[in-house]
Structures are given as C-alpha cells and as structure tokens.
Structure 1
Amino acid sequence: MIDFSKGGYQGNFIEETFKGFTAKYMPHYWYFREVLRASHLPSVHWEKVTGEALATEEEEAKDLVAISMIMYHVYTCLAEAISFYQALEYEIGKFNSNGTREFEAKKNWKAAYSSLYTCVNSMSNLLLIVEGQKPLYEYYPDGTPKNYTPGSAVSFFKSKNQLFSDNIKNCRDRLEIRNHLDHYWTIWTSIGQGIFLFDKDFSKGYVVTSPPVGGQPGIDARSKLNEDIVNTAKDLDTLFLELSRPGGSLDKYLDTKGIVIDYSDYVVPHYGERPLL
C-alpha cells in the first residue's frame, strides 16, 4: 500500500480534491502517475536510452503525452461520477412534489453512469496502448480514426491477459445500466423525499407496465450507484497496479520504445529512484 504521508504523489487541483476517495480506493493511479512522471506537455524527464531528451515533435513524446492525458481522463471521469452522485444525494434530500426535482435527480443519476462508462472506456484505451502496445488510433478503411472500447479490450486480452480481460468485463457488466439509460430510459423508478428506487427486476430490454404501488420493492438507486463507483475504482486500481509495478506493462512499453524516465530530481520518498511499492 502506498503511504501518502511520506510525500510525493501530488496532483493538480482536481486530482487533489478527490484524493481522499482515490487514495483509499484507487491508490495505484497515483503510483502509475508518479512512475510515468505524467505530463500534458513533453517532459524533460522523458529521455532516449542514449540520454538525449525526447524532441517535442517525436512520436514517442506524443505517445507519452497521450498516455498521460488518457490516464488523467480515467481519473477525472471517476471524479465526475462522484460529483454527480453527490448532486443526486442533494436533490433527493430536498425533494418535493415539484417535477424539477425529479428531473434533476434522474439527470444526475444518468450523468454519473455515463461518466463511469467514459472512465472505463479510457482505461480500456490505456490498457490497449500500454500493455497491448497498440497504436493510439486504429483506422477504418476510409482513414477515419477508430475508437477502442471496453469490448475491444475484453476481446484483445481474453487469450493474452485474463486479469485485464476479467477486470474490464466486470466494469462493463456493472455498467449495463448506463447502456440502458443512454439508449432507452425505460427503467421504472420511484422518487420522493429521501427516496430513489428503481426496478429490482431491471434488465436491458425489460419494460415495466405495472409498477408496484408505493414504489416497493425496488433497489435503492443511491446505494447502488455508490457501490458501483467504489467497485469500479477498485477494479481500475488493480489494473493501474499491473501496469505500473516494477517490470510490468509500463516498463516493458518504455523498453520497447527506447525510453527511460529520469527520476534523479525526485526527493522524499523516492530519493532519486524509480518509485517503489
């Protein structure tokens, strides 16, 4: 476990704002960030094995910037999901018969799951680029860039890395509700003061025509969303650990690209060395 009390592992304002959650449930995001020396611009700490700095326009520098930004997108989308969850709690807490409250509650519910999906989608891209050593983009025959998806990652790693495949599949299956909310919105819900329930028999394609009187039985949407955010963070943490552990995916990626990271100016707790677990 990473000891955040010893220094290092600093992020920008958004990262620090949600650090209380991520240090607990996704600590190895911070480790990956520290090992990569992530930067949204080419960094003087990224070098060729010859000791020369990577030129700004070299493909390797662009790739590391992209990896840094994708990594950051995983984090910020998780942060968005947490924010929407908090907004949902607020709306339900002050709920009254005004239809606006119900709209706001459902809006934040849907937005939280959409952000979680984007978070998992970004992690899928990160896995395929770093562990799978695939290009940043693949292209359709007409030259249009093709997006990687969780399905792409599950399929690619199924016979190559079962842990990666299983963790992304867990996230994808957990977020089936997002698929339904984005495309159909036929989930039965019951919303009132301090209450937000949805159909306990929910499954994609199932339409409720006779909802139970009084909104029972059902699943507490707030508890379920909180559980899904925490479990997604835990699954992603496992993946960040596998990517960044010594001799792991990131080290192999850097070796293949002929890149080394300069840690010589790292102080406590790394003392000029690659961060240790």
Structure 2
Amino acid sequence: MLFPGVLYFILFKYLPMWGVLIAFQDYSPFSGFWDSSWVGMKHFQTIFENESTVQIFKNTIILAVYNLFFFFPLPIMIALLLNEMRKEMFKRFIQTLIYIPHFISWVVVVGIAYILFTTEDGIVNNMLVYFGGEKINFLLSKEWFRSMIISEVIWKETGWGTILFFAALAGVDPQQYEAARIDGANRWHQLLHVTLPAIKSTIVILLILRLGNFLDSGFEQIFLMLNPMNTEVGEVFDTYVYTKGIQGGDFSYATAVNLFKSTVGIILVLLANFLAKKAGEEGIY
C-alpha cells in the first residue's frame, strides 16, 4: 500500500533534486547534464552583482513580510472568534462560507479583482465617483499593487488556514474551562490563560513552516497581476525564475536563483526551530 506513495516521492520529489546541478553549469539542453561545462559559483555571483536582482529581492522580502504580519495572524483570530460561538449551526455555516474561496483558482480570483477594480465600470471606482471621489487605477498603480496582492491572499486563504487551529482547539480539555470558571475567570481570561496556551505549540510549528516558504510569494497570482506599469514593485523571485528560465532559456541562472531562495528558506527554518526550542517549545524536530 505504501509503494505508490513512495514511488511518487522518488519520481517527482527526490530524482528532480539532481537538477540543481545545472546551477553550477552553463547548461545546454543539447549537451545534457554531464556534458555541459562546469562554471562553479559564476551564476551565484551574477545574482549579487545584478542590480535588478537586488530590487527583486527587496520586492520578495516586502511581500513576505506583508504575508507574515497581515495574513498569518488572521486564521488564528478567526478560529478563536468562531470557537466562542455557541450556535453550532451558525458556526458551521460561517466555516463553510470562508472555506469556499480556497477552492477558487487564482485565475478566477484575479479575474474578479479586475472586474471590481477596473477604471471602466469597476464597482469600486464607480462607488468612489458616487461618493464624490476620483477614480483610482488600482490595477496599474505601483502604490496599490502590494495591498491588492495581500488582500487577495487574505480573502482566498484565511478561512482554509483556520482548519489546523480548529483541530487544535478541539483538543482542549473542557475541564480546564470549567476549572477556570470556578476560579472566577471570564471569557477573556479563559481565552488568554486556557485557549491560547493550548494552541501555542501549533502556532509555533506553523510559524516555523511558514518561514520555510518565506520567499515563496506565489507565482500564479503575481504573474497574473503583473503588467509593465507595476513590474518595478511586483517582480519577485518566482516570476523572475520563470522569465529567465522558461521564457529566456537561461536555465542555469534561473536554477541558481531558485536554489538561493530555497537556501534562505532552510536557514530561516533552522533558525526559527532553534529559537523555538530555546523558548521551551517542541519545534518541528
């Protein structure tokens, strides 16, 4: 029964790892892995010497920070709020409602954003004009690009992100709440001293895993939202690798960029896990 799963990971996860070799080569598809010339750290040096890479790194970091500070806490907050609901039917209805956007593809989400924010009969701009304001070209604006990206992520993924926290909350012993009430704790005190400590380890583990994907900004969404007017603030490593590797045919350089991004992710995971253990948490290993 394990064989299909093991075979899947060998074929699609482990064997492709050998592809990182081309980051140290001037790879040519005609020469193959073994006959392409080896160039050592040449492509990695190019990453740090290229001025455009510095801007791309900055864009990626800013979006990653936006995700960490604006998106990551929201599933926790919503899970805690829904956990306080006593009407089970209403609670299930809200859960189902906020899960649905997760199953909508990014193509559809971006399409909805274009319909809402376009300057030509877009609902948002029509409302701005109705209340005496002026139209804002959200889709072509550098200033609004990052806010739109994080807003789309929040709308699409916040509900789905609550699932693990609901599972953690389900494991809290009801007797702890009873004991807290006997000791005179109100709902706020129960939240602070019973609920949050109970899910603290789950929050720490998910935060560590999140840091592993810190530089993964999401290719599909950003690629669909990019245009010549916002590329300066919107180009990130994921889209840059696609542009250089797939469209430009510079496979070695694109692989080096992606390997650099993955290395940063591993370092962040190891550092976060070390700090979590120092703080008395279990960590991921």
| Fold match (TM-score > 0.5) | no
Whichever structure has more strand as a proportion of its residues is: 1
TM-score calculated relative to the size of structure 2: 0.22
Whichever structure has more helix as a proportion of its residues is: 2
TM-score calculated relative to the size of structure 1: 0.22
